[in-house]
């Protein structure tokens, strides 16, 4: 899960904590649907695999194309967030590169320094976010050479990230100004819904718990506990961060900030200079960067595997399923995934990326939840290691709430999403359907 999208956005003021609870409930419904499909379809992986088995090739293509959007844009957003924290780390050491090479070329809200001085007006400017590009390229090299994720290493990264979050909450709580929470709902119900839609990005990745369903000793018990416990813990942490962050500074000052927590702490430090606060900021920067490196790695692996799986099913050119002769990794799809993420991350802002990632994820969740209902109708006697409780209630609620959250996203996001789907359907109609396994059998 990510925390870079906790930056304030239009419609997401101090009521952000309430929006986070709504999103967690929706994710719980969807997570249980994922768990049922994962326990039936033993190929660990993604919604692409599940929809191929339940809804056929066309829907599988749509969801695969959608997953490329989800994984790519979520990682672009994380890379921009990582770059923002890199800048904060350099600043801590007194190094101040030219903003031209450490900020996106497109800045919808412009760029200001911590004193509020305008560095760039809103819109495009000549520049490139070099740290965002470099981090994904470095990790792409690592992935091509082969990386076996160590559970122990990952657990250490998670613990360090949680420690950084708790440290921020503990220290930041001492400098809260309650006046920053008023008004609590600055943009009314529409702002609450939009905030929930935007904050959905922070929960991307919870569904990975369901992919281990086949390995559980008691999936009926372990899978729902794992999913719900993950959501509860993350929601509590997110709420704590949201309450403290919006108490430290007015929510409108956080708009499109790629590193809102550390930048806010810098402002607090400038007002209350102390060595303890300065070292706290450094610890939080490092903890956040480690967490984002872990997220980028996982989602780059996921994106490359989607390219690989679709190529293996002959829906994409076979070059994407080529395996490196020495490292035995899908090197072509990994490099493609790296450049697909790295280049745009240098040009665009975190808000654009998170919005497109949100709509792609919500759309995938709708299809997965529908897949549960379809399989229960088409194949009711098939063995299910885990069955989503409540009959059709949770899958239906998952679909309805996901559509509701999608409705809260900006119109421009919908237009970009439909353009992306249209491009995918053109590729499928003129290329993929003529080469797929089903076409070769006919």
pLDDT-based confidence at residue 133 (cuts at 50, 70, 90) = very high
Q: What is the pLDDT of residue 208?
A: 61
Tell me: the pLDDT tens digits for 151-190?
566 678 778 888 988 999 999 888 888 888 877 767 666 6
Q: CA 192: distance to chain centroid? A: 20
Spatial separation of the C-alpha atoms in residues 112 and 420, rounded to whole Å: 32
User: Which tokens in the block code for residue 11?
Assistant: 């419609």
Spatial separation of the C-alpha atoms in residues 219 and 212, rounded to whole Å: 9
Tell me: the pLDDT tens digits for 274-315?
888 889 889 999 988 888 888 888 788 878 888 888 888 888
Asked which of 17-31, 200-214, 392-406, 411-425 is least confident by mean pLDDT, the reply is: 200-214
pLDDT-based confidence at residue 338 (cuts at 50, 70, 90) = very high
Q: What is the pLDDT of residue 342?
A: 92
Predicted confidence (pLDDT) at residue 410 exceeds the cutoff of 60: yes
Q: CA 419: distance to chain centroid? A: 21
User: Between 365 and 53, whose confidence is greater?
Assistant: 365
Spatial separation of the C-alpha atoms in residues 106 and 307, rounded to whole Å: 28
CB neighbourhood size of 219 (10 A): 22
pTM for the full model?
Answer: 0.79
Q: What is the pLDDT of residue 10?
A: 40
In whole numbers, what is the pLDDT of the chain averaged over residues? 80
User: Between 440 and 261, whose confidence is greater?
Assistant: 261
User: Which tokens in the block code for residue 226?
Assistant: 């794992």
Tell me: the pLDDT tens digits for 71-88?
888 888 889 889 989 988
Spatial separation of the C-alpha atoms in residues 42 and 49, rounded to whole Å: 10
Q: What is the pLDDT of residue 188?
A: 67
DSSP β-bridge partners for residue 12: 9
Spatial separation of the C-alpha atoms in residues 51 and 184, rounded to whole Å: 41
Predicted confidence (pLDDT) at residue 211 exceeds the cutoff of 60: no
Spatial separation of the C-alpha atoms in residues 243 and 176, rounded to whole Å: 9
Q: What is the pLDDT of residue 47?
A: 66
* Opening angle at CA 204, ends 360 and 376, nearest 5: 70
Spatial separation of the C-alpha atoms in residues 44 and 436, rounded to whole Å: 22
Asked which of 91-95, 255-259, 352-356, 418-422 is least confident by mean pLDDT, the reply is: 255-259
Q: What is the pLDDT of residue 425?
A: 93
Predicted confidence (pLDDT) at residue 68 exceeds the cutoff of 50: yes
What are the angstrom distances between the C-alpha of 434 and each of 146, 293, 441?
Answer: 33, 39, 11
Predicted confidence (pLDDT) at residue 393 exceeds the cutoff of 90: yes
């Amino acid at each position: 899960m990510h925390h870079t999208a906790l930056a304030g956005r239009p419609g997401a003021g101090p009521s952000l904590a309430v929006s986070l609870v709504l999103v967690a409930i929706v994710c719980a419904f969807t997570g249980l649907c994922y768990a049922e499909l994962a326990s039936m379809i033993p190929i660990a992986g993604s919604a692409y695999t599940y929809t191929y088995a339940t809804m056929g090739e066309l829907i599988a293509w749509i969801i695969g194309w959608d997953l490329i959007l989800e994984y790519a844009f979520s990682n672009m957003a994380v890379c921009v967030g990582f770059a923002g924290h890199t800048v904060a780390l350099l600043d801590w050491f007194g190094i101040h590169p030219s903003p031209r090479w450490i900020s996106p070329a497109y800045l919808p809200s412009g760029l200001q320094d911590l004193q509020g001085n305008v560095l760039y007006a809103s819109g495009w400017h000549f520049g490139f976010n070099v740290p965002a590009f470099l981090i994904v390229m470095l990790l792409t090299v690592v992935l091509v050479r082969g990386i076996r994720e160590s559970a122990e290493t990952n657990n250490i990264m998670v613990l360090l990230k949680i420690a950084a979050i708790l440290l921020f909450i503990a220290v930041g709580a001492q400098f809260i100004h309650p006046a920053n929470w008023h008004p609590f709902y600055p943009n009314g119900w529409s702002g609450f819904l939009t905030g929930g839609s935007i904050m959905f990005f922070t929960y991307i990745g919870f569904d990975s718990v369901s992919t281990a369903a086949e390995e559980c000793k008691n999936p009926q018990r372990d899978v729902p506990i794992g999913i719900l416990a993950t959501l509860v813990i993350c929601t509590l942490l997110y709420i704590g961060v949201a309450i403290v962050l919006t108490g430290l500074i007015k929510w409108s000052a956080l708009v499109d900030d790629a590193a809102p927590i550390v930048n806010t702490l810098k402002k607090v430090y400038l007002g209350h200079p102390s060595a303890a606060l300065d070292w706290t900021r450094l610890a939080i920067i490092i903890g956040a960067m480690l967490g984002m490196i872990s997220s980028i790695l996982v989602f780059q692996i996921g994106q490359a595997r989607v390219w690989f799986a679709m190529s293996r099913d002959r829906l994409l050119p076979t070059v994407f399923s080529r395996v490196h002769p020495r490292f035995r990794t899908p090197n072509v799809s990994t490099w493609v995934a790296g450049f697909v993420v790295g280049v745009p991350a240098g040009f665009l802002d975190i808000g654009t990326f998170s919005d497109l990632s949100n709509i792609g994820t919500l759309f995938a969740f709708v299809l997965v939840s529908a897949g549960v209902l379809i399989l229960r109708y088409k194949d009711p006697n098939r063995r299910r290691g885990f069955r989503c409780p409540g009959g059709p209630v949770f899958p239906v609620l998952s679909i309805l709430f996901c559509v509701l959250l999608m409705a809260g996203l900006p119109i421009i996001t919908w237009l970009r999403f439909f353009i992306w789907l249209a491009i995918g359907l053109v590729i499928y109609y003129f290329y993929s359907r003529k080469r797929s396994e089903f076409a070769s059998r006919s």
